[in-house]
Every structure is written in C-alpha cells, then in structure tokens.
C-alpha cells in the first residue's frame, strides 16, 4: 500500500512539473505534424488528442496558480493572514509558487503589524500630551482625537463636529469654520463651570484628503499655573525677608532677658518679653505660609478610596469638635482605586472636611457632609465633598484659591491654596461648584 502511494505521488509530481507539460506539448506538436505528412491518420488523431490534452494541462496549471493568487489577495483584503499554502507532496515548481506566495503573505502581515504598532505608539504619545488634538476633514468628520481633547470638550465619543452642538453651538460653528493659520478663543459653560479654550489650526494632506489639525489648550489652567508660580515666588521672598529681620530681634531680646534677669527695670523686662513673644508669634505665623512653597514632590501609589475616606472621616471628627454633624460617604464601585500620593491627598481632604464643618457650625442639628467618589467615562476618579452650610457668595468664589485670602477670623488663607497646589502637582484639579440645596457647596477633586 505504501509503495502504491509512493508511485502515485511520483507520477503526480511528474504531471505537475511545468517542464514535463511543455515537453509534452512540443512532443505532441512534432508528432502531429510528422504523422500528418506520413499519412498515418490513426497516429495523427492520437497525437492531436495528446496535443489537446497537454494544452489543457498547461492551461489548468495557469488557472490553478491564478486562483491561488486571487485567493491570497482576497484573504489579505479581509485581513486574514492565517492561511498557508501546502508545499509538501507537490512538484518543485508548484512548491516554489506556494512558498513564494506564503512569503508574500508573511511580509504583508509583518508590515501591517508594524504599522499597527506604530499607530498605537503615536496614539499613546497623543494621549500623554496636555494639549487637546483633533484631526478632521473639510466635511467635519473626525479622523483622530486624543483623551485631552475629549476631556476639554466634555465628550466621551467624538466622530463629527455637529456633536459639539450638545456642548455649545458657538463652539461647533467655530470648529467647523476655523481655517489653517487662524487662532480663536471659545468659551462655554458646563458642569465644571466656565471653560476658556484657545484653538490653533494647521493643515496636512493625507491620501489626497485635506485635513485640519486643531490644537486645544485650557486657558484657565495655563493662567492658574502662572498665577500659582507667581504667588510661590512672592511668598518665598516675603517669608525669607521677614524671617531674616524678625529672627535676630527675637534672639536678641531673649539674650538680653537672660543676661539681666535680676537687675532690669520691670518696664524694660515687660517690653523685652513683649518683643520676644510677638517675634516668636510672627515667626510661627510666617512659618505657616512656608507650607505653600514647600510641598514635597508627590510619590503616587495605588490605594482604595473607600478605606481612605473612612480614615479621613474619623480623623476629621477627632480633630474638629462638631459631634452633631453627620458625615456620609458613598463610593461607587466599592473597590474604587486612585493613583496619587496618599499623604498629600490626606491634607487636601482633611482641609475640605474641616472647612465644611466650620461652614456648618456646631449649633445646627441638621448639619450634613456628603463625600461621593466615583469614576467617570474617561476613567478619571472624582471625589466630591459637599455640605449643607451657607452658600459661598459669588464675589468670594473667584478668590477662595488665592493665597492669604480668608473670610474666617484667625484664618491664614493658605488651606485651599495648598490644596490646589497639591492637586496641581498630582496632575489633577480642584474646583468649587454651587449646587441646589440641600448640599449647596461642593468641592470637586479630579484625579487623572
């Protein structure tokens, strides 16, 4: 049985050999002509049939290879690179054709894989920049966008400029009509408050299509960063100069008191003690502002938001004596995780809870604080701290994050400034929004 299979395979390889088929055509052609001239009509008919059959064999070989090539291109067009032509048990010529087409398929598959990896690489770069990027054609269809653009525009899916009408009709109109080389500023209002964006446009041609590239930047964020940097520099200069001036005076008054404890006039002693006490108080006061300029570099780690907020509530109740205020915590989902510096975020949350308790006061029996944590569609983690205390006046809202601004007696005006600086260094943000009762005031912490 094995011998028969071997013999059958041997003859198949001979018949599939292109040179054998060409030799058969030539032989039958010569035989047909010779038998015709010799008048041997029986042999002439047989050789003519052989010529016809050999021509069919050549045509069949051509059609078979043509079908192979057509099948290969159909598979490639459908992104199917898993097929492979068999090469074992075939004639050398047929085997060479199959191996060549397998090689072509492999080369195209590798080129497509490299192109996909490169495209993914560019997408990661786009998503890592702090500038929103939108690539669209002249008909308003979106070719490419990054996460920052979606965040700034408040969209989860963006496929056409018309979708911006849900955000603001003016923004949609500007985005549709803005031309390469132009610069525009747009303003709209959403749940985050008033958003100010700057737009810059360039152009390119890709596969014979004209595309516009729109770069979007958050003007508020840029201004806030410059403002914070200015305050930090000013605070460092002031604290340095004050400390240099006050420290020697305090030290000198203490030295004089220790040198002349028994033989100093009482008025002079009282004066020196007043100078010393006032100087030390001023040093402690100035030292509190150093926290605004001495925030350490964040060391982010992953931690569970639910357990973290439970600890914050216990600490806030322990540090602030407001037993009648109810604090409610809602975390969705229960295993919500945030990537940030837990020690620094502790300062922010504790400060917000302290401010909320002080805003409500200890005399109200219905005082409530609601802490809500959740994840957005853009996979950002949000922590909202709301209270039912008095609403913050509109004229004070734009000043609450400015260093040294305070409306509380004895307050330093540093807490919210430090909180904003911590959130900025953590790559997130802190914002205030006034809601309808019962929780009229809400501070929103957003972590990327």
What confidence tens digit (pLDDT) does each residue in 123-163 have? 777 777 778 888 888 888 888 888 888 888 888 888 888 88
pLDDT (tens digit per residue) in 48-74? 777 677 677 666 666 776 777 777 777
Q: In what order do the strands lie in the sheet with 193-206?
A: 142-145, 132-137, 209-218, 193-206, 183-190
Do 25 and 50 form a contact (C-beta atoms < 8 A)? Answer: no
The DSSP 8-state label assigned to residue 408 in this structure reads S
Task: Sort strands 209-218 and 132-137 into parallel, antiparallel or unpaired.
Answer: antiparallel
Q: Is the pLDDT of residue 409 over 60?
A: no
Task: Sort strands 183-190 and 142-145 into parallel, antiparallel or unpaired.
Answer: unpaired
Of the pLDDT bands very low, low, confident and very high (cuts 50, 70, 90), residue 241 is low
Task: Calculate the average pLDDT of the chain.
Answer: 76
Tell me the whole-structure pTM to 2 decimals. 0.48
Of 5-19, 178-192, 193-207, 258-272, the range with the lowest mean pLDDT is 5-19
DSSP β-bridge partners for residue 144 = 135
Question: How large a percentage of the chain has pLDDT more than 90?
Answer: 8
Collect all residues with Cβ–Cβ distance below 8 Å to 320 and sequence separation of at least 6: 353, 354, 357, 358
């Amino acid at each position: 049985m094995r011998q028969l299979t071997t013999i059958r395979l041997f003859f198949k390889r001979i018949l599939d050999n292109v040179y054998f088929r060409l030799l058969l055509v030539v032989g039958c052609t010569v035989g047909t002509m010779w038998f015709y001239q010799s008048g041997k009509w029986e042999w002439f008919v047989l050789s003519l049939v052989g010529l016809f059959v050999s021509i069919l064999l050549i045509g069949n070989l051509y059609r078979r290879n043509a079908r192979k090539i057509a099948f290969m291109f159909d598979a490639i067009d459908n992104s199917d690179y898993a097929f492979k032509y068999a090469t074992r048990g075939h004639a050398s010529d047929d085997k060479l054709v199959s191996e060549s087409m397998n090689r072509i398929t492999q080369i195209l598959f590798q080129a497509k894989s490299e192109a996909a990896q490169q495209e993914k690489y560019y997408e990661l770069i786009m998503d890592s920049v702090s500038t929103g990027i939108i690539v669209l054609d002249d008909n308003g269809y979106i070719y490419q966008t990054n996460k920052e653009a979606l965040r700034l525009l408040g969209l989860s899916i963006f496929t056409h400029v018309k979708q911006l009408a849900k955000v603001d009709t003016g923004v949609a109109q500007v985005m549709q009509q803005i031309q390469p080389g132009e610069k525009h500023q747009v303003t709209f209002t959403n749940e985050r408050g008033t958003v100010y964006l700057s737009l810059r446009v360039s152009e390119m041609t890709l596969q014979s299509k004209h595309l516009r590239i729109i770069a979007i930047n958050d003007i508020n964020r840029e201004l806030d960063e410059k403002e914070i940097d200015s305050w930090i520099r000013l605070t460092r200069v002031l604290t340095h100069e004050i400390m240099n001036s006050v420290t020697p005076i305090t030290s000198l008054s203490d030295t004089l008191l220790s040198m002349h404890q028994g033989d100093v006039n009482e008025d002079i002693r009282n004066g020196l003690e007043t100078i010393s006490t006032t100087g030390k108080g001023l040093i402690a006061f100035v030292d509190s502002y150093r926290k605004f300029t001495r925030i350490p570099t964040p060391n982010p780690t992953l931690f569970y938001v639910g357990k973290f907020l439970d600890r914050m509530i216990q600490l806030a109740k322990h540090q602030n004596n407001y037993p009648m205020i109810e604090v409610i915590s809602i975390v969705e989902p229960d295993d919500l995780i945030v990537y940030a510096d837990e020690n620094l975020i502790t300062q922010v949350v504790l400060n917000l809870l302290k401010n909320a308790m002080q805003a409500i006061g200890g005399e109200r029996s219905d005082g409530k604080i609601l802490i809500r944590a959740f994840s957005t569609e853009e996979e950002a983690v949000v922590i909202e701290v709301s209270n039912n205390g008095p609403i913050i006046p509109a004229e004070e809202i734009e000043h609450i994050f400015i260093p040294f601004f305070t409306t509380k007696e004895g307050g330093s005006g540093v807490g919210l400034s430090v909180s904003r600086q911590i959130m900025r260094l953590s790559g997130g943000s802190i914002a205030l929004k006034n809601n309808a009762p019962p929780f009229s005031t809400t501070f929103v912490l957003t972590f990327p």
